[in-house]
Structure 1
Amino acid sequence: MNRVLRKLTLGLALFGFIWNPSLAQTTYQTPPQSISDLFNAQPTPSVSFNKDGSMMMILERAGAPSIEDLAQPELRIAGIRINPAISGQSRAGSFNNLKLKKTRSGEEIQIKGLPSNPKMSGFSLSQDEKYLAFTNTEATGISLWVVDLATYEAKKLTDPIVNQVFGNAVAWMPDNSILIKAANPSRGSMPKAPAAPVGPIVQETSGNAAPSRTYQDLLTNPYDEALFAYFMDSQLMNIKLDGSKSPVGKPGIIKSMDLSPDGTYLLVEIIQKPFSYLVPADRFPYHVEIWKSNGEKVKTLAEIPLDEVRPTGFDATVKGPRNISWRADKPATLYWAEALDGGDPKAKVTERDIVYTLNAPFSGEKQKLAATSLRFGGINWSDDSFAILNERWFASRTEKRLVINPSNPAQAPRVIIERSSDDIYTDPGDPVFTENEFGRNVLLRKGELIFMTSEGGSPEGSMPFLSTFNTTTKEQKILWRSQAPYYERVAKVMNADATEFITLKESTDIQPNYWLINTKKRIVPMQLTAFVHPYESIKGIKKELVTYKRKDGLSLSAIVYTPEGYDPAKDGRLPVLMWAYPREYKSAADAAQVRGSKYTFTRLSWGSPIYWVTRGYAIMDQTEMPIVGEGDQEPNDFFIEQLVANAEAAIDHIVEMGIGDRNRIAVGGHSYGAFMTANLLSHTNIFAAGIARSGAYNRTLTPFGFQYEQRTYWESPDVYFNMSPFSFAHQVKTPILLIHGEADNNSGTFPIQSERYYNALKGHGATTRLVFLPHESHGYAAKESVLHTLWEMDTWLEKYVKNRK
């Protein structure tokens, strides 16, 4: 077999999916018409706005790709999935049409001269908004295009030379030329696989602990290294609007490029050897260099070592500089964080991180800007007298926001917000931004007032709002709020006092559309888009946000859907599909909060359970499955008992409503929801069937942590054993359907998880079925794959739930 092909199919061969006579091959099936029609509905366009909101960009996309699209050659190396034919990522989304719409007049303009068979992405406006750039994926590569917004004509600027394997690849210069990351024109041909290995593959450690999560698609041999270096080999180029181009700086394995706000300098990250077989490319060693915009090197700011050895825990980080960025409010000033605790969250220190700045021309010494008591979480810039410093600590779910004075670092920061990140009822929201003279996002602010948008969590469900927040008094004043029976949120603030803004408004059976609102003039809101309802067949279904209590008194919630015209008193009880995803909390009060809204539009994704409302089922979606560990207690120490209590409470409630038939209830979930499903079937017999998609079932295969579990297997072996459905496969008496993408790239959910779990179930006589989807990742993409998944689920539900004997 060709060595390249062998690498491309390695994921199959490892787990016995090739040449295995014991596996049954079937053709792709399609679900009943009521389900397939919903899945095949035309996707709603995406919308974005220019700087002042006067123009809307409407991007249209086709439906799901075909399995032939997914079956194209693919390299899975260094945590990246590459299409070798195009020097780009193999699974990137794209759009097939571009329109512009004038916000106030409603005039819609079709852009002319677009590529034939377009696969467009990466749209960005020039700073003066006279031009719009985008990339287009062709059969042999990725080309750069530009739209003249005076004529609304698109034209191709380059051959397919753009390198989109990793990181950003396009940036506008102040003079309306475009900086791109191109495939190095001197890189030659793709390396050929050696006819025979030159020797064994060796890894060695010298005693330093290097705990690491279970990453997928890592480098495995020197040939992989050569392929990675080849496809990452890039040359920055300056492209003029007439198509002429010139190289900028030297080629290299360029990880990222970032232009300073004034366009004078470039921050360039260049990956270095040695590469790693333990971690993906974003943790390889790299140099951080400052260049002038013409490519002349000014300084090596930092040499970041290989990031293999890091303490355990979600609050752990690297030593040395990290998060190196440009200040948004300055022409060319860098800032970054460095850990004072060595990156170890277990270290007892007063200050965790220190934030430094360095001004152009970068010949001076770095200056301390601030220190944090928690882990640095970024800065929202305004001007040289005001910025918001963000800190966070995952272990306690604490987040803090502090006002700092960048011009006077000695001035003590002022804490304006300190709260639990899980507490949605008191969430003041996130700052509103506006663009400054450099085209960078800075805080929309009036003195001590900043503007905020929030999801608006409440016991009645989410009611988003727009507000001011006084950073001196900490008083929040709501300027506008979504009103029932709609779910409406601010998409774009149009003016300095936030009296005019654009919202995205929807309701249960009203497709989300954009509206222009002016609270100062109090004029009637103006509808800006009229996207049609894509799911006419389910417009009449009933949607209800329900709340109920667990046996320990904890409040829970779910969204219940029932078929159009259904009346429990007349029509009797229905089979139920319960769909959920567990979450861990450090506070019972936070866990009990109502999440979501009964007024959101009923939109169906590929993995939604709502399809089955057309088949006569009641659906319990977003069924809350909180796992709580207060104070020093870890949530997962109580995982099984609380998970079972959550499920029992949900079943009791749907039955008490007169809707659900207790003997015909299925449970299902995707990823951690699949893990949840398998655990429920291992420890209860309260369900008629289970559906588990792309899950992990043996936690010893993820020994350095999983989901939000920070302890390792060796620290808490009982937790890892007891939370593994694999450990209790002998107790499963309920039929369970396992589905998994054979190319799953999610950390921890290797396809072998489903294969080994299926074998364990089969060995103990359980009723089970295992379906592997060729070429599919953690989320399923191909039309054939999704329709077949829906068919598998429908067949399973009809047999073991609706028609259960």
Structure 2
Amino acid sequence: MKKLLFFYFLGISIFSYAQENLTYQKPSKEILELAEAPLAPSIRIDSKGENMVFLYRSNFKSIETLSETEMRLGGLRINPKTNIGSRERYYNNIKVRVGRKGTETTVENLPKNPRLSNFSWSPDQSKMAFTNTTTSGVELWILDINSKSVKKLTKDNLNANIGNPFYWFKNSNALLIKTLPDNRKDLIDTKIAVPTGPTISVSEAGKKAQNRTYQDLLKNKADEHNFEQLALADLQKVDLNGTITPWKESAMYRSISFSPDGNYIMITTIEKPFSYLVPYRRFPSKSIVYNTDGKLIKTVLEVPLIEDLPKGFMSVRKGKRNLSWRDDKPATLVWAEALDEGDAEKEVEFRDEVFQLDAPFTGQPTALLKTINRFSGIEWGTDNTAIAYDYWWNTRNTKTYIFNPSNSKIKPEILFDRNYQDVYSNPGNFVTKRNEFGRYTLDIIKNKAYLIGDGYSAKGKFPFVDAMDLSSKKTSRLYQSNLTDKVEDISMAFNMKKGEILVRIESKNEYPNYYVRNIFKRMTPVPLTQFENPFKSIQNVKKEIINYKRDDGLELSGTLYLPTNYEAGKKYPMIMWAYPREYKDKSSAGQSTSNSNEFTYPWYGSPIYWVTKGYVVLDDASFPIVGEGDEQPNDTFIKQLVANAKAGIDAVANLGYIDRTKVAVGGHSYGAFMTANLLSHSNLFAAGVARSGAYNRTLTPFGFQSEERNYWEAPEIYYNMSPFMHADKMKTPLLLIHGEADNNSGTYPLQSERYFNALKGLGAPVRLVMLPKESHGYAAKESVLHMLWEQDQWFEKHLKPSKNTEE
């Protein structure tokens, strides 16, 4: 009896410690110093590269900010008190530089405790509008670039719940703003509201609605009411003196777009009925064109509720879609229509046809071109020259066409026909310049267009600028970076006549900075910024790109970091961090875009912190999943996953750096899914960290990641790829971390909770950490620092067991 009582109380004791009541913890000094290093500002630069606006913000939000009231409706997350997205990232300071050689000046008279967002240049680029979120709402402010001064234009009654809350008129002297309607009804508190009946959903026989597992959807009539009230807004016109005049009555405004000449405004509104299956972007909508006085010109598009698209990633709805303005014309609408009825499984010669219609939109549409794949966009140029793009996900194919928008009888010519995952063959993007309408169109000089490319190759990254003769379609190279100890990126072209481009240059220990380079004069680039390296403690860390092969000969790579206290001949524990990616050919899968000269930047989710704690880190390790021909990548997912991991460990072990019995693997989202599978199906690792993943694929039955087939078409794939189904095989220590408010499709917090319960029930060593208020990515300082502490404790315990670190 005494023995039984002893074990009884022991059981109570063990059970009572199954959950730990920890407050937020901070990681060790080495990690904390890096995590709290100040951010460099974000930059807004005008089209000529003359004036710059520097925007500053803190690294993190606070848990108090994340704890503010939040409503999750129709795929949105809204703060109903302030009427702006509850997950908005705010800036808190502004500096301005006038002229390339000017000095940065702090803007005075900013609001107290600023929470700034929605920055937008005026059409003439002399001003910038932005919002400030107070404790009770959203205000509109204006920054004058030349005077470096700001002023408040409205009270805090803007509605920023859906899309931009303001839009510039063409003259740069007034804005169209969305404001809270005076007749908005009170919101329903769904926690205390008394139901008036059940919630009923209906499916008609034969009508399929195979949708992804979206989160934050509407669930009942109370949600519908709240969504409508939060979406409703009045449209008003405000001039720069603050004079406000009513412009349009209350509606659920989704998007607003001015014609290039500024004489027309296309407004898209959300209509009813709402849906409990899809987010608001697939609710019914109506697009109407008005003149600048608010007079209705024409209803140009009405879209029904979209719940039942044909099967396939490349399937689309019937009718007009991608409705937009033609950038090189005063007021011409352009759109695409499916020629396959939107059904990706139908075999047709052409998938889409593109049309245009000039103002006042009463004539017959004109056909422009047909695309072999699904239409994806147009770069407008002149009356006779434009560039169109299409793509097809299933084959990873993309085509680039040059066509004459004034004569559809002239057959479009295919300039590039390529695998878009083949980065080595990427010809680059066409250079655009700002036209008389303030829109960006092809920069064509003496019948030549220009291309800026990343310049990836097996030898490294060497970005380039090419000129294309539009008659012969032949290209000539004007410039290519030859930096071998640094990395250069070409951000944009300021003036192709003068040869001025904006570049960003960085090295392992030099923070990325911006320069103006003249590709014709070949002179030393002129610096625009001089940001210092805030991560001094790791600036001299040994870093290299290692190349190795999988057992089937596939080329792989990863970025290898050695500990800051590295001693030659000593073996260290290793952390491998990765994210699987699907390919349709081995050639593309074996390409690398990593560069050892890239700046070493330890962002919040990075494993690089642990070089300061005596770990080797293999970051961004290649994890390609390849399915060539009729084979789909996921048909051999597990086999390829394990082969990728083994190859990475072998490569580093062969260099003599690591003890291969002390290797941990980690990843976020699909990387977490990868981690759980590796621990279930291999004995390569001593521990794992899986953040915000999905582990049971039967909970995402209509596709996930790049898997198009549904569960009933490929049940064995869903079963074999689900770590939950193989929880009985998992014996390796696993740290699960998940945000309690995850909004990502498929990665419900339930995924981690149920997987933890399965592993715990089967006796696996597992720890589950749920971060309050956090979404798919983590934002609060308290959460991020605690996450780093958890990971540090886990690695120390399971890769350095001699220290006897407590969980």
Q: CA deviation at 1:594?
A: 1.6
The answer to whether structure 1 residue 154 and structure 2 residue 150 are counterparts is: yes
CA apart distance, 1:200: 0.5
CA change 1:371–1:767 in 2 (3 A) is same
Change (3 A) 1:783 1:341: same
How far has the Cα of 1:192 moved from its partner? Answer: 5.1
Q: d(CA) in 1 for partners of 2:737 and 2:244?
A: 49
The yes-or-no answer on 1:739 pairing with 2:737 is: yes
TM-aligned CA deviation for residue 764 of structure 1: 1.2
1-side partners of 2:301 and 2:128: how far apart?
34
Shift of residue 471 of structure 1?
4.4
Give the CA deviation at 1:23: 4.6
**Counterpart code for 1:651:** I
| 2:565 and 2:612 in contact (8 A); partners too | no
Q: Deviations over 1:548-570 (max 9, x none)?
A: 0011111100000112352433x
Whether contact under 8 Å (2:565, 2:614) holds in the other structure is no
- Mapped contact 1:490–1:502 kept (Cα < 8 A): yes
Q: Deviations over 1:44-73 (max 9, x none)?
A: 111121121111111111220110110101
Q: Does 1:72 align with 2:71?
A: no
What amino acid is the match of 2:734? I
Residue in 2 that maps onto 1:184: 181
SS in 1 for 2:644: helix
Instruction: Determine what percentage of the aligned residue pairs are the same residue.
Output: 47
In the aligned structure 2, how far is the partner of 1:305 from the partner of 1:447?
46
Is the CA contact (8 Å cut-off) linking 1:460 and 1:594 kept in structure 2?
A: no
1:17 aligns with none
Measure the CA separation in 2 of the matches of 1:474 and 1:681.
Answer: 52
Moved more, 693-702 or 307-316: 307-316
In structure 2, the partner of 1:518 is 518
Contact 2:310–2:342, Cα closer than 8 Å, also in 1: yes
Q: Secondary structure at the match of 2:529?
A: coil
- Aligned residue identity for 2:328: D
Residue equivalent to 2:33: 37
Query: Which amino acid in 1 is paired with 2:124?
Result: D
- CA distance 1:746–1:471, shift in 2 (3 Å): farther
How far residue 409 of structure 1 moved from its aligned partner, in angstroms, is 1.6
Kindly state the Cα deviation for residue 109 of structure 1 after the two structures are TM-superposed. 2.4
- The corresponding residue for 2:348 is 349
8 Å contact from structure 2 (residues 566, 614) kept in 1: no
Aligned to 2:382: 383
| Residues 403 and 413, structure 1, Cα contact 8 Å, conserved in 2 | yes
Aligned residue identity for 2:500: E
The one-letter code of the counterpart of 2:374 is R
Give the Cα separation in 2 of the matches to 1:470 and 1:143.
Answer: 49
Rate the CA distance shift 1:498–1:80 in 2: closer, same or farther, 3 A.
farther
1:196 alignment partner in structure 2: 194
Deviations 1:323-347 (A, max 9, x none): 1100111111000111111111001
Match of 2:555 in 1: 555
Alignment check: 8 A CA contact 2:66 2:773 kept: yes
In structure 1, how many angstroms separate the alpha carbons of the residues matched to 2:801 and 2:473?
Answer: 58
Q: Which residue of 1 aligns with 2:566?
A: 566
Contact 1:238 1:247 (C-alpha < 8 Å) held by counterparts: yes
Match of 1:493? 493
In structure 2, the residue matched to 1:135 is: 131
Contact 2:679–2:731, Cα closer than 8 Å, also in 1: yes
Is 1:451 matched with 2:447? no
Partner residue in 2 for 1:14 = none
Cα deviation, 1:296-355, whole Å, max 9, x if unaligned, reads 111111110000001122111111111110011111100011111111100111111111
Name which of 109, 113, 119 aligns with 2:109.
113
1:178 alignment partner AA? L
- The residue that corresponds to 2:681 in the other structure is 683
8 Å CA contact retained: 2:454, 2:490: no
TM-superposed CA distance for 1:201, in Å, is: 0.3
Partner of 1:596: 594
1:298 aligns with 297
- Answer yes or no: is the 8 Å Cα contact 1:568–1:658 preserved in 2: no
Q: Write the deviation string for residues 240-296 of structure 1: whole angstroms up to 9, x where unpaired.
A: 001011122232011111111111111111111110000000000011111112211
Shift of 1:604: 1.5
1:226 aligns with 225
> CA distance change for structure 1 residues 420 and 470 in 2, over 3 Å: closer, same or farther?
farther
- 1:277-292 paired onto structure 2 within 5 Å: 277-292=276-291
C-alpha distance in 2, partners of 1:420/1:648?
Answer: 28
Name structure 2 gaps, 5 residues minimum.
1-15
Question: Could you say what secondary structure the match of 1:511 adopts?
Answer: coil
2:196 aligns to what SS in structure 1?
A: coil
Alignment partner of 2:348: what SS?
coil
Cα distance in 2 for partners of 1:541, 1:557 equals 19
1:444, CA displacement in angstroms? 1.8
Structure 2 match to 1:797: 795
**Within 5 Å, which residues of 2 pair with 1:5-404?**
23-175=19-171, 176-191=173-188, 193=190, 195-207=193-205, 208-404=207-403
Question: Structure 2 counterpart of 1:662, which letter?
Answer: R
Q: Does 1:541 align with 2:541?
A: yes
Question: Structure 1: any 5+ residue segments left out of the alignment?
Answer: 1-19
TM-score by length of 1: 0.95
Select between 97-106 and 535-544 the one with higher mean Cα deviation.
97-106
Post-superposition CA distance 1:66-97 (Å, at most 9, x none): 10110101001100000011111001112111
Aligned residue identity for 1:620: L
Name the structure 2 match of 1:435. 434
**Deviations 1:588-637, CA, capped at 9 Å, x for gaps:** 11111122211111111110000000000010001000011111110000
Shift of 1:22: 7.1
**Aligned equivalents of 1:403, 1:498: Cα separation in 2:** 26
The separation in 1 between residues aligned to 2:197 and 2:257, in whole angstroms, is 40
User: Does 2:694 correspond to 1:696?
Assistant: yes
Query: CA separation in 1, counterparts of 2:541 and 2:617?
Result: 11
- Which residue is equivalent to 1:629? 627
Paired amino acid for 1:367: T
Question: 1:497: Cα distance to partner?
Answer: 2.9
Do 1:291 and 1:299's aligned partners in 2 also have CA atoms closer than 8 Å? yes
SS at match of 1:370: strand
Q: Quick one: distance in 2 between partners of 1:21 and 1:83?
A: 36
8 Å contact from structure 2 (residues 336, 355) kept in 1? yes
2:310 maps to amino acid: P
2 CA distance for matches of 1:149 and 1:592? 47
CA contact (8 A) 2:498 2:520 kept: no
Task: Give the whole-Å Cα distance in 1 for the aligned partners of 2:471 and 2:565.
Answer: 54
- Report the counterpart of residue 6 of structure 2 in structure 1: none
Cα distance in 1 for partners of 2:189, 2:564 equals: 60
TM-score (norm 2): 0.95
Separation (CA, whole Å) in 1 of partners of 2:180 and 2:476: 51
Partner of 1:13: none
Using the alignment, how far apart are the partners of 1:670 and 1:145 within structure 2? 38
Q: What amino acid maps onto 2:334 in structure 1? A: Y
Q: Which residue is 1:7 aligned to?
A: none
Contact 1:540–1:565 under 8 Å retained in 2: no
The correspondence of residues 573-588 of structure 1 with structure 2, limited to 5 A, is 573-588=571-586
Is residue 373–residue 392 contact of structure 2 (8 Å, CA) maintained in 1? yes
Whole-angstrom CA distance in 1 between matches of 2:181 and 2:355: 34
Change in 2 beyond 3 A, CA 1:552/1:639: same
663-672 or 142-151: bigger deviation: 142-151
In the alignment, the residues of structure 1 paired with residue 412 and residue 364 of structure 2 have an alpha-carbon distance, to the nearest angstrom, of 23
Which residue in the other structure is 2:748 paired with? 750
3-state SS, counterpart of residue 611 of structure 2:
helix
Q: What RMSD, in angstroms, separates the aligned Cα atoms of the two structures?
A: 1.5
